[in-house]
Amino acid sequence: MTRVVIGAFLFIGFLAMPFEARTNSTGALAGHSGSPAENGRTCNTSGCHFGNATNSGGGSITVSGPSSYGLGQTVALSITVEQGGAQRIGFQVSVIDASNAHVGTLKIVDANNTKFASNNPAYITHANAPSGMSTRTFNVAWEAPNSPVGTVFFYITGNAANGNGASTGDNIYSTQFPMAESGTAVEAEAVPSHFAVTGAYPNPVASQAIVGVSLPQPADLRVVLMDVLGREVSVKRFSALGAGAHDLPVSVSGLAPGAYVVVVSSGTGRVASHSLLVQ
Residues 95-124 pLDDT 10s: 999 889 999 999 999 999 999 999 999 999
Residues in contact with 175: Cβ distance below 8 Å, sequence separation at least 6, in sequence order: 4, 5, 6, 7, 8, 9, 10, 12, 61, 63, 155, 156, 157
Q: Which domain holds residue 274?
A: 196-278
Q: Are 262 and 223 in contact (CB under 8 A)?
A: yes
CATH number for the domain that contains residue 246: 2.60.40.10
Q: Encode the chain (279 residues) as per-residue pLDDT tens digits.
A: 545 444 333 333 333 333 333 237 788 899 999 898 998 888 877 667 666 778 888 888 888 888 889 999 999 999 999 998 999 999 999 999 988 999 999 999 999 999 999 999 999 999 999 999 999 999 999 999 999 998 899 999 999 988 777 777 888 888 888 888 886 544 445 567 778 888 888 888 888 888 888 888 888 888 999 998 889 999 888 887 888 888 888 888 889 999 998 889 887 776 777 788 898
**How many distinct structural domains can be found in the chain?**
2
165 Ramachandran zone, left/alpha/beta (phi>0; psi -120 to 50): left
Instruction: Name the domain boundary from 135, 158, 187.
Output: 187
- The reply to whether 151 and 126 lie within a common domain is yes
- The reply to whether 255 and 220 lie within a common domain is yes
Closest C-alpha among 54, 50, 44, 38 to residue 118? 38
Q: How far apart are CA 218 and CA 266, in angstroms?
A: 9
Residues 188-211 have pLDDT tens digits of 455 677 788 888 888 888 888 888
- The reply to whether 122 and 210 lie within a common domain is no
Instruction: Name the domain boundary from 137, 156, 187.
Output: 187
- The reply to whether 133 and 21 lie within a common domain is yes
- The reply to whether 170 and 76 lie within a common domain is yes
Instruction: Name the domain boundary from 135, 169, 187.
Output: 187
Q: How far apart are CA 174 and CA 26, in angstroms?
A: 20
At 43, which amino acid appears? C
Q: What is the pTM of this model?
A: 0.62
- The reply to whether 176 and 258 lie within a common domain is no
- The reply to whether 183 and 257 lie within a common domain is no
- The reply to whether 15 and 88 lie within a common domain is yes
Q: How far apart are CA 40 and CA 45, in angstroms?
A: 8
Closest C-alpha among 68, 67, 42 to residue 56? 42
Q: How far apart are CA 72 and CA 204, in angstroms?
A: 44
**Alpha helices per DSSP H over the chain:** 43-46, 185-188
